[in-house]
Amino acid sequence: MPAITVDGVTYEVREGDNLLQACLSHGLDLPYFCWHPAMDSVGACRQCAVVQYADDEDTRGRLTMACMTPVSDGARIDIKAAHAEEFRATVIEWLMENHPHDCPVCEEGGECHLQDMTVMTGHTTRRYRGSKRTWENQYLGPFVGHEMNRCITCYRCVRFYRDYAGGTDLAAFGSRGRMYFGRAEPGVLDSEFSGNLVEVCPTGVFTDKPFSESYTRKWDLQSAPSVCTGCAVGCNISASERYGSLKRVHNRYHAELNRYFICDRGRYGMAHVNSAARIRLTGRRTGPELFQQIEPADALADAARICATDHTLGVGSPRASLEDNQALRQLVGAERFCAGLNSREAEFMHAAVGQQDVPTLKDVEAADAVLVLGEDLLNTAPRLALALRQATRNVAYEMADEANIPRWQDAGVRGHAQGAANPVFIASVLPTRLDDIATATAHGDPHRLALTGAAIAARLGGQALASAALSDELDDFVAQAAAALAGAQRPLIVTGASLMTPALLTVARNIFTALQASGEPRLAICGNEANSFGVSRFGGGLDLEEVLKAVESGSARNLIVMGNDVFRRADKQRVAAALANLEHLVVLDGLENPTASAADLLFPAATSAECTGTLVNYEGRAQRFYQVFVPSDDVRPAWRWCVDIARAMGRNDMAWQHVDDVLDALAAQAEFSGIDGVAPPASTRSHSGQKVPRATHRYSGRTAMYAAASVHEPKAAVDDDTPLSFSMEGLNRDQSGGLVPYVWSPGWNSNQALFKFQQEVGGSLRGGDPGVRLAPWETGAQASIAPAEGRTASTGLRLLHLPQLFGSEELSAYAPAITARMQAPWIVLHPDDASGLGVVEGDGVDCVGHSLEVRVDADMAPGFAAVTVGMPEAPAWLPVGDVSLSRDPDFVRRPTIIARG
């Protein structure tokens, strides 16, 4: 390890780093702007200047940009040399010439990297006398606000948006002192990752629009470490609240997983917890669509009576925590519990949870050849798609190594590579927005995709699969993909459950196995919901089909459904009939949905912002999300409702007081062995005996917060469940990696303070990577191959899921900003099928009771149709068999372009 001397102190540093990384990795305060840990150096801002000395005799040294200078053993630099300090203050003085100094009305104020750097350099007096340049701002959609006057031209926004995330509609315009960062014309930002601009911008140019609408300073936020419930990737997020409502979501660093970025569903979707559609009171149904509020105690007594019978089944949920599911399972008995997945998905997932060598996202970024089988990743696991995009750069890094270009020299690496990219093969139902990184793409129905995968596996196994079923085009795709994967050291296969086709998993595994001969393959499997991987570990029990049959046959007369809209998982008429057949439907949920509307007894369940719990992501990583604020009204975590029902029944087998108690019960089960390592126990304290504060230590106005209601300062809520406190007292330092509610350090008020929490820049958190990876769990289930989906001449079309980032996920669809991005539902038809139905692009089609806009695409497999599912006005679930469609003569095309706001 090379050693460098900084201000007279010698430090060991990582070989190959630059001086800025080296200084920050040792926690030193060195200002910077254009450098970003995920996007490396370009040397634009010149803020990170230090004095470097040539040798021991050199006393003057010369200024050098730390971010552009590689470390070398024995190098001697000074951050604190007067000349360097003066230069850095001058850089701020230059940047401040045109800055509007509108901090009091700026959303960034109080967590602004520009403010921090200004204070850090000591620039205080304005000497520039000229007038300031001003700009017109642009409407950029419902997510991101724009205030160009504040720009300091660090180029980070375009480097993230374009170079890192592959967006093309944001760019740098102009030159010299008139640089503009925006779109060619006002309009909605196109990237699935646009919200990261808010965190990437070091000042207030790009701001979180929903947050601005009900704004709170960072220092007045209470935050908790949370986990996104948007998909099975399980990105770590920091969720912040004030006055009991969720204010915003930031990325929460996890070195192996989401690292510095999350997708827009994750950032803006959690606002569902503030929705007016929340269920907040216990209720008993008194008539169709009529509920009467009742006391929780009365509701519990009712539920206890219902649960006391033998005829009660429980339906859990892949979007609820393990604790919630465990509690319901215990309440009704394992053999009467259903994890809530339909049988095809359950079959897929039961096999998926046994997979070995599942890559972290960091592993995904390291892959050198990729095959995506069936999944439209930007709509089902967007953060994974972003990691895939980085994987294409490995060859560029290798070329840079050859040319002696440091890997962190971003422009040099990109320029030298000239677009050279690692191979990515995407086989999907329809073209995807990730196809721009694809070497080749193939399209087909799920059966055909599985055949394609099987052909690749066969080829890798040395058999040229004689498959008359594949076209020449697919043959070519198969040959290319097999060659690329076989030639790779770290090949990666990605598949997923979105098409609910277990055969895809089977062939993906065959490819994986074949590749074990030549390299170190990884297989990533996407699940459909945040806890699909968690609940699929539960052994025994029923699947949803069995539950429905039991209800239909009358053998089950009561149903407790927790956090699950059953209408999204089976045929609407069938579910409606089944539910109507019940004596009692008890629903525990947080938001209105058709199942909740059918309940006889309704318990308001906490959302992920209001309780603490555990989710298991696609990596098999159990992750803890922490309560952000105390819920209002009757809302309780679902697991507590279950415990309370059990208590009302007089049972003592589940007398759990705390989340940890539920966790212990889980950990006692083989399939969850080791899960108690997910988070430190509630009793954990800092070395000085303190909890981790959710509020910043500058939290202001505590006594005045509720002044409109009462002049008495309410007692701070107590959190017995976790090592976090609802308070500003405590220590936000040196804690376990999963317990970082927000980042802050003296002098570093913005999210750039993160490096103070990392072992080294870009490395693990000081307290370790959050969560614990569970060992693969062999359920014994094997996904079957090809459930004879080859089509024969038929009367209708077979419908396929077309998941949408904005709209298809049940909870996030309730967030206003996400709602604003949702498009009217549509159906994609092959041209022949369209003409068969007598429709053209833009017409309407009646599809299982929904009127859908027709899009015609030659890539669509004939005989199949893809339907946006789960969005309002779209079917919640697609029938498995052939479906007859008909032209909807009354269809009126709804605007899909969002009006200027």
Q: Which does 177 bind (CB under 5 to 8 A by kind): other proteins, ligand FES, none?
A: other proteins
**Separation of alpha carbons 566 and 246, rounded Å:** 27
What is residue 558's three-state secondary structure?
A: strand
**Separation of alpha carbons 836 and 834, rounded Å:** 5
- Selected binder of other proteins within 16, 415, 487, 681 (CB under 8 A): 415
Complex with ligand FES: residue 20 or 221, whichever CB lies closer: 20
Q: Which does 90 bind (CB under 5 to 8 A by kind): ligand FES, other proteins, none?
A: other proteins
Complex with other proteins: residue 166 or 210, whichever CB lies closer: 166
Rule CB under 8 A: is residue 479 a binding residue for other proteins?
Answer: no
Rule CB under 8 A: is residue 687 a binding residue for other proteins?
Answer: no
Q: Which does 560 bind (CB under 5 to 8 A by kind): ligand FES, other proteins, none?
A: none
List binders of ligand FES among 39-78 (CB under 6 A). Answer: 43-48, 65, 67
Contacts of 243 (CB under 8 A, 6+ apart): 705
Tokens representing residue 358 in the block: 């599942």
Contacts of 756 (CB under 8 A, 6+ apart): 27, 743, 745, 748
754: Cα within 13 Å, side-chain hemisphere:
24
**Separation of alpha carbons 863 and 74, rounded Å:** 69
Q: What minimum distance in Å lies between the beta carbon of 168 and other proteins?
A: 4
Left if phi > 0, otherwise alpha if psi is -120 to 50, otherwise beta: which for 584?
beta
**Separation of alpha carbons 867 and 851, rounded Å:** 11
Complex with other proteins: residue 213 or 436, whichever CB lies closer: 436
For residue 509, which of 355, 621, 350, 347 has the smallest C-alpha distance?
A: 355
Q: Which residues pair with 292 in a beta bridge?
A: 284
Q: What minimum distance in Å lies between the beta carbon of 144 and other proteins?
A: 15
Question: How many residues at the interface with other proteins, by CB under 8 A?
Answer: 54
Contacts of 689 (CB under 8 A, 6+ apart): none
Complex with ligand FES: residue 192 or 410, whichever CB lies closer: 410
Q: Which does 48 bind (CB under 5 to 8 A by kind): ligand FES, other proteins, none?
A: ligand FES
Q: Which does 185 bind (CB under 5 to 8 A by kind): other proteins, ligand FES, none?
A: other proteins
**Separation of alpha carbons 90 and 92, rounded Å:** 5
Count the Cβ atoms, other than its own, within 10 Å of residue 374: 28
**Separation of alpha carbons 859 and 882, rounded Å:** 20
C-beta separation of 730 from 692 below 8 A? yes
Chain centre to alpha carbon of residue 736: 22
Q: Which does 59 bind (CB under 5 to 8 A by kind): ligand FES, other proteins, none?
A: none
**Separation of alpha carbons 399 and 406, rounded Å:** 10
Q: Which does 32 bind (CB under 5 to 8 A by kind): other proteins, ligand FES, none?
A: ligand FES
Rule CB under 6 A: is residue 377 a binding residue for ligand FES?
Answer: no
> What size, in residues, is the chain?
901
Q: Which does 865 bind (CB under 5 to 8 A by kind): other proteins, ligand FES, none?
A: none
Q: Which does 581 bind (CB under 5 to 8 A by kind): other proteins, ligand FES, none?
A: none
List binders of ligand FES among 556-575 (CB under 6 A). Answer: none
List binders of other proteins among 132-191 (CB under 8 A). Answer: 152-153, 155, 168-180, 183-185
Complex with other proteins: residue 203 or 536, whichever CB lies closer: 203
Rule CB under 8 A: is residue 848 a binding residue for other proteins?
Answer: no
Angle between the N-to-C axes of helices 502-515 and 446-460, in degrees from 0 to 180, rounded to the nearest 10: 10
- The residue of the chain with the least Cβ separation from ligand FES equals 67
Q: What minimum distance in Å lies between the beta carbon of 405 and ligand FES?
A: 17
What is residue 469's three-state secondary structure?
A: coil
Rule CB under 6 A: is residue 240 a binding residue for ligand FES?
Answer: no
- Selected binder of other proteins within 46, 76, 490, 821 (CB under 8 A): 46
**Separation of alpha carbons 252 and 229, rounded Å:** 14
Q: Which does 443 bind (CB under 5 to 8 A by kind): other proteins, ligand FES, none?
A: none
- Selected binder of other proteins within 7, 29, 97, 583 (CB under 8 A): 97
Rule CB under 8 A: is residue 205 a binding residue for other proteins?
Answer: no
78: Cα within 13 Å, side-chain hemisphere:
21
**Separation of alpha carbons 693 and 700, rounded Å:** 14
Taking contact as CB under 6 A, which single stretch among the options 28-36, 137-145, 671-679, 819-827 is the one that binds ligand FES?
Answer: 28-36
- Selected binder of other proteins within 129, 712, 715, 900 (CB under 8 A): 129
Q: What minimum distance in Å lies between the beta carbon of 47 and other proteins?
A: 7
C-beta separation of 434 from 388 below 8 A? yes
For residue 324, which of 568, 167, 530, 578 has the smallest C-alpha distance?
A: 530
Binding positions for other proteins, rule: CB under 8 A: 42-47, 49, 62-65, 68, 86-87, 90-91, 94-95, 97-98, 127-130, 152-153, 155, 168-180, 183-185, 403-405, 409, 411-412, 415-419
Binding positions for ligand FES, rule: CB under 6 A: 20, 32-35, 43-48, 65, 67
